[in-house]
Amino acid sequence: MTRTATVNYHVHKSYRQAFELDAGGIAGNLISPELAATSVVLADNRTTTSSVSFACDAVEITPLKTQVRDFAGDGWKPIYDTELKAMLQDRLGAREVVVFDHTVRVDDPEATRKPARNVHSDYSRNGAEQRLVDLLGVETAAEWAQGHYAFVNVWRPVDHPINSAPLGFVRPSSVDPSDWILLDLVYPDRKGQIMGLVGNPDHEWIYQSKMTPDEVAIFNIYDNQGLPSIAHSALDMVEDPNVTTIRKSIESRTLVRY
């Protein structure tokens, strides 16, 4: 069955656009550039004959159970970090993994971190290179940059299967380079840079229906050896209108050395 969803694409402008996060020093306060709501057709990775793989499509969805039962507080982080490192070393052949950020998102107007409803990828080249230095320091970053490194995101549903606002991805082979635009990411204490995606009817959208807390999406958000960065966004859609669970997820950003 063909599914559709609404996504918010970015828009070409003659000037550099920006997101302001925690604007005015208020946690969760977001000021967004102009977005264009667009209906897109989805391929369900559970049922399609051409399922995605990390090597070909920069995203892979796979079973991965966790010992963590509650992502509140900080006590779970050492356990979860160890699980993610082992998984990425096994599945991607990484020889070193740094887990440096976790974000729990809840689809609730009162939540501090809500699902990201803009089509984007997390780093531009400059943004990734600066983040590498921020995380490792100048000397170690220079050493890593001589080899193959990447930023990889691991996304998991929390508490319940995802019924609304699932995470969707644009198959990289369907994206024209001109569809990407640079966006500044302005925090109260620092500035980053991400990539936004402009709408194109050729885009092929992929998602996995009713993802469970025992499944993860592993996806590439920057690779210095050329694996495409994959555009992604929460999808405005509902799987089953009779289900009322609130969409909750955790995304973990990692730095991988191959």
Could you tell me the end-to-end alpha-carbon distance of the chain, in angstroms, rounded to an integer?
39
Q: How far apart are CA 218 and CA 251, in angstroms?
A: 10
Contacts of 247 (CB under 8 A, 6+ apart): 106, 107, 115, 157, 162, 163, 164, 165, 166, 234
Q: What is the pLDDT of residue 167?
A: 98
- CA distances in angstroms from 192 to 13, 65, 95, listed in the order given: 19, 32, 27
Mean residue pLDDT of the chain comes to 94
Q: What is the pLDDT of residue 219?
A: 98
User: pTM for this one?
Assistant: 0.93
Q: What is the pLDDT of residue 182?
A: 95
Q: What is the pLDDT of residue 1?
A: 61
Q: What is the pLDDT of residue 27?
A: 75
Task: Report whether 248 contacts 160 (CB < 8 A).
Answer: yes
Q: What angle do CA 244, 38, 2 make, to 5 degrees?
A: 65
Q: What percent of the chain has pLDDT over 70?
A: 99
Phi, psi of 206 (to 5 degrees): -125, 140
Task: Report whether 169 contacts 207 (CB < 8 A).
Answer: yes
Please give the full DSSP string across 196-233, using - where no structure is assigned: EEB--TT--EEE-TT--TTEEEEEEEEETT-PPPPPEE
Residue 23 is encoded by which pair of tokens?
A: 């604007």
Q: Which stretches within the chain are classed as H helix?
A: 54-57, 77-92, 125-136, 138-145
What's the pLDDT tens digit per position in 162-207? 999 999 999 999 999 999 999 998 888 878 889 999 999 999 999 9
Q: What is the pLDDT of residue 129?
A: 95
Q: How far apart are CA 150 and CA 131, in angstroms?
A: 11
Q: How far apart are CA 107 and CA 12, in angstroms?
A: 28
Residue matched to tokens 């170690």: 140
Q: What is the pLDDT of residue 25?
A: 77
Residue 57 gets the label, from left (phi > 0), alpha (psi -120 to 50) or beta, of: alpha
Per-residue pLDDT band for 112 (boundaries 50, 70, 90) equals confident
What's the pLDDT tens digit per position in 23-72? 777 776 778 899 999 999 999 999 988 789 999 999 999 999 999 999 99
Looking at this protein, which amino acid is placed at residue 38? T
Mean pLDDT, residues 127-138: 95
